[in-house]
Every structure is written in structure tokens, then in C-alpha cells.
Amino acid sequence: MNAQPALRVGLETDLLGFTQLLRCLHIPHRVTEERDAQVVWVTDPGLVDEVRNLYARYPQGDTAGEISGIRPAITRPGFKEQLRASPVTAGVLIITLVVAAISLLGDRYEVVRWLTFLDFRLYDTYIEFYPVSYTLEQNQWWRFVSPMFLHFGVLHLAMNSLWYWELGRRIEFRQKGWMLLALTVLFSLAANLVQYWWSGPALFGGLSGVLYGLLGHCWLFQLLAPTPAYRMPKGVVIMMLAWLGICLTGAIDVLGFGAIANGAHVGGLLSGCVTGVLGGLIARTRR
């Protein structure tokens, strides 16, 4: 279902209270900034008049608490509607799930070797990686981003998929699908290059580097140009940064939970912070 513009107000208007009211009433919406206005979008055309009527009555939100305890007969968008509203997010996750199934979560090396950062030859007891020059000579450019589709375990796949679904939809909602796709490719490239520089030839993969990029992007964008789509509990950012710090100490490896691609996490986060600052400054300038 395509989003519909329901309300257009000046850039100087504070919509925080009103968007809080919409969230309280479970009305799916997003807010975008144009050159001369803020636009409130809804995913259901039937809610356009509802939003306009609410704004006419409560432009600052439900400050008197008149309707905060009343839940109208408005249903949340179903899973199909969410997929239609977030095609890029869904597409990346579908590819990830298909790769996980075909590769048996990393156990089928004949499949895995086509998506790793470096091609390799498998022997009985070890893996021999081809050099980067081989990748360039064979024009296998996809290898610089394709490791993000590889996952090595159900928990690895589930956690990364859930976080990409959460963060990807926010960016697709606020900055369109093409921007999410561009950021995903950029963060994957940065994460994989830093991980290769960090560890040398090794078998690594997963969306976690991209996720740290998306987190950094939303975090700093929100600090510079606040928008409801990127507003997250502070605990989320603190938790993710704390987890990164714990992983960097090597404690996870010592406890036997497997190797962590710390370089990918750091590379993704740093590149995400850069795009978040640039995007936030541009949005702030337009306001």
C-alpha cells in the first residue's frame, strides 16, 4: 500500500506532540521534510481525513489527556502491508534467508565460496584463500559486498535479520528505498574492507557490519535533525555500543562463543556515523 500525504505544515512547526499522539492511537505514519514544509504521510488512504481532523483539534498533541486512553478502531498494518511499504528491506532479507537455506547456514562450502570476500580452496584440514589480486583479475567485484548474506548459525541469522528489519524500515520510511539500498551496499563494503584489513584472509560474513552502519546513521542523523522515524530508546544505542566494546576485548572468543568480526562492526559503525552526520546536516540545512 502506497503512503499518502495527509498533512503539510511549515518547517518551523513543532510536530513532536502531534506525532506522539498518532503513535498513541496506533496510526502508522512518517514525517518527511521538503524544502518548504513538513509532510505527514500515512500508509492507509482511509486515515488521511482522520489525521487532518486530529491535527485540527490537537495540533500540539493530546496535552490535556482527553483521548490518550482511548484506542480507536484502527488496526496496525498487517505483515503483507509492511512488506509492500518496505520492499528494499524485505528484498535484502529474502536474499539473506535464501542464501542461508542454500548454504545450510555456512555448511555447504561449495555455495559459501561464491559469496566470501576471497575465493578459496578447501582441503581436509584447512582453507587456502586466493589473494585479492585474483578477485580483481576475475572481475568478481560482488565479493566486496556479498559476505553480508552469509550467516553461520540460526541465532546469527535471526538476530541480524530482526535488527535489519527494524532499522532498514526506518530508513526506507524516512529516506526512501534507494537510499537504504545505497547505504546497505556502502556499509557492507566498508565493513568487509576493514574486516579484511583487521584479520587478513579469513572466513567471515553476516549483516552485523551493515547493522552497525544503519545504527550509526540513524543515531547521528537524529541528533542533528530530529525525526520521529529515527527516534530510538537511548538504551538501544548504549547496548549496541557496549556489546561492541565487549567484543573488542576478546571476551567473547575466550568464552568459546565463536569468533566475532570486530573489524566489520567498527568499519560499519564509522561509515554509518559519517553518513548520519552528512544526512543530518543536509536535513538540518533544508529546515
In the residue annotation, 265 being an active-site residue is answered as yes
Question: Could you say which of 146, 208, 217, 271 is catalytic?
Answer: 208
Please tell me the total number of residues recorded for the chain in this structure.
Answer: 287
Catalytic member of 29, 151, 217, 265? 265
Separation CA 33–CA 12 (nearest Å): 11
How far is it, in rounded angstroms, from Cα 234 to Cα 20?
17
Integer Cα distance of 9 and 15 in angstroms? 9
Active site residue 161: no
Per DSSP, what are the bridge partners of residue 32? 39
Percentages (nearest 5) of helix, strand, coil residues in the chain: 60, 10, 30
Q: Is 151 helix (H, G, I), strand (E, B) or coil?
A: coil
Query: Measured at the alpha carbon of residue 175, what is the angle toward residues 160 and 226, in degrees to the nearest 5?
Result: 90
Neighbouring-strand partners of residue 29 = 42
Rounded to an integer, what distance in angstroms lies between the CA atom of residue 202 and that of residue 196? Answer: 7
Catalytic residue set: 208, 265
